[in-house]
Chain A
Amino acid sequence: MSRKIFKKYGYDISLDEGVGAHLICWVTGLMIFFVTLMMAVNFGLSSITQSWVTGLSGTMTVEISPPLPSAEEEKISHKSRKKFNNIIKDVLTLLKDNVAVSEARLLSEKEVENLIEPWMGQSITLDGLPLPALIDIKLVPNADTKALRNSLKTLDPTVTLDSHIDTLDGIRTLVNTATLFMMLLTSVIIALAIVIISGIVRSKMLIHQAEVETLHLIGASDEYIARQFRRHTLRGTLKGALYGLVCTFITLFIICYITRTVGGDIFPRPYLTPSQWTALLLLPITVGSLIAHLTAQATVLKELSQLP
């Protein structure tokens, strides 16, 4: 029985002994940790972008600038306030009559304050600050926003229509840049892992040179010898991947905890879909194992080809 197990899982070469026997485990563990973490951050960023894009697309915001007190006045005059209120009424009427708009809602002062508060902080009082009037509008599909913008401008030049395109473009550019950077970093990590694994396998071949030569001389094929290194590397990789994944999920838990307590009002909460969680669990292990497996195979075969 024990011999059967040896034959199935053991090695003819004492790969589990000697210097650096578990180096592959740590190297691949680190690789998997960084790659999984970057994937998770990438997925998280995508979900934030998605929630912003979904929340903002098909909507627009009409902003009516508040009247400002003149240099001689401390407060806004009653006349200016009345004019401001009239503009709001006129804009709402225009919006309700416009075919491009399906829904228009004036945000209350409290809602406007809530929007500003995360940026200003709770300690600053907003009383007396000239706040703009904001009207959230929902558009019908394929709405003519240009005509709507012109109508609003004609009504009053202080009325502006924010289509959020600039904001969305900015977010997209930021997220795309971050994604590209992470992909680049992942490529560097993979390339480094290949070089390191290859180096470790080569070192192990040197350490166990006498055993490798003996196997070679008694008629072991290159494939037979390579299989032993491959199996050892794969076992180390899977073990390392497991450690790496555990560390990643602990780190993600900490990041989630921190983002919930800091800046939770500014940023939407990142959300990962079940398929993204599955990808996080399986993709780094699969790709990592494949890379380690192929690197070990190629390195051993290359080294063995130098034997007669």
Chain B
Amino acid sequence: MALVKFSSVGLRYGTGSEVLHDVNFELEAGTFHFLTGPSGAGKTSLMKLLYLGQKPTRGIISMFSNDMSTMPRKKTPEIRRQIGVVFQDFRLLNHLSAFDNIALPLRVSNIPEADIKKNVTELLRWVGLGDKTDSRPPTLSGGEQQRVAIARAIINRPKLLLADEPTGNIDSDIGIKLLSLFEELNRHGTTVLIATHDEDIVRHFPHPQMRLEEGTFLSTSPKTRSEAA
């Protein structure tokens, strides 16, 4: 069953021309995909639609079997909590510690503080930041900030993990380690979609690609992991 389904989706900002047009695809649960394409192809716009940061101007988006066009606004936070996002600019809250940044998705879900402490501490150790619990983002290196952003994206055990250019600001060795981390999450059942223009990374990991060019897909529907294998 498709976790995400886009049908004839189009997006335009204001009165400009469409940045995405006739986008059709399905993401099966447990798959790992790369979203590739040149700069300006619409990758970030597509990611925005996926993490519900933008509404399409036309077409239908279905997330976790819910038609988003008819879903009441009150219910969208519940859907968002099932999506983990690693933003290109991380979007960490600078006045909060690494711990509190990672704890945010749990706090907005009203998880008891004792559980938050246990889970966040464990995850901080897992991403190698066990000694940076109280550090604020401005005092962390780029790589450390990225790991905090990843930890925040996965702390809720999301069904879908989206990462927008996660290797953009780091060298290729760390990029490969990061992708290995995403693969591990994928093995635990999380559906992963990574937007990147880093051809080396894409070559290194044998996962299906969804190629966007000029706002639409050139390739056919993406394959599932089993098909790719």
A54 to B174, CA, bound (A): 89
A14 CB to nearest B CB, Å:
4
Cβ–Cβ contact B100 & A219, under 8 A: no
Cβ–Cβ contact A7 & B107, under 8 A: yes
Is residue A257 contacting chain B, with contact meaning CB distance below 8 A? no
Cβ–Cβ contact A305 & B95, under 8 A: no
Most buried by A among B55, B100, B117: B100
Within 8 A of B (CB), among A113-142: none
A219 to B160, CA, bound (A): 13
Closest to A11 in B: B95
Cβ–Cβ contact B93 & A221, under 8 A: no
Within 8 A of A (CB), among B64-81: 73-74, 76-78, 80-81
Within 8 A of A (CB), among B90-114: 91, 93-96, 99-100, 104-105, 107-109, 113
Contact with B108, one of A17, A218, A305 (Cβ below 8 angstroms): A218
Cβ–Cβ contact A219 & B78, under 8 A: yes
A6 to B104, CA, bound (A): 12
Q: How many inter-chain contacts with C-beta < 8 Å in the A-B complex?
A: 63
Most buried by A among B55, B108, B109: B108
Cβ–Cβ contact A221 & B117, under 8 A: no
Count of interface residues, chain A, beta-carbon cutoff 8 Å: 23
Cβ–Cβ contact A214 & B93, under 8 A: yes
Count of interface residues, chain B, beta-carbon cutoff 8 Å: 30
Given contact pairs A14-B93, A210-B91, A217 touches B80 in the complex (Cβ within 8 A): yes
Given contact pairs A219-B81, A220-B77, A3 touches B54 in the complex (Cβ within 8 A): no
Contacts of A12 in B (CB 8 A): 93, 96, 100, 104, 107
Given contact pairs A218-B108, A220-B108, A3 touches B95 in the complex (Cβ within 8 A): no
Contacts of A305 in B (CB 8 A): 73
Given contact pairs A12-B104, A17-B95, A308-B55, A218 touches B113 in the complex (Cβ within 8 A): no
A202 to B188, CA, bound (A): 43
A9 CB to nearest B CB, Å:
13
A-B contacts, 23 listed (Cβ < 8 Å): A3-B113, A12-B96, A12-B107, A13-B93, A14-B93, A14-B94, A210-B91, A213-B91, A215-B104, A215-B108, A217-B52, A217-B91, A218-B81, A218-B105, A219-B78, A219-B80, A219-B81, A219-B109, A220-B104, A305-B73, A308-B53, A308-B54, A308-B76
- Apart from A3-B99, A214-B93, A221-B77, what are 16 other A-B pairs with CB-CB below 8 Å? A6-B100, A7-B113, A12-B100, A12-B104, A12-B107, A211-B93, A213-B91, A217-B52, A217-B80, A217-B85, A218-B81, A219-B77, A219-B78, A219-B81, A219-B109, A221-B74
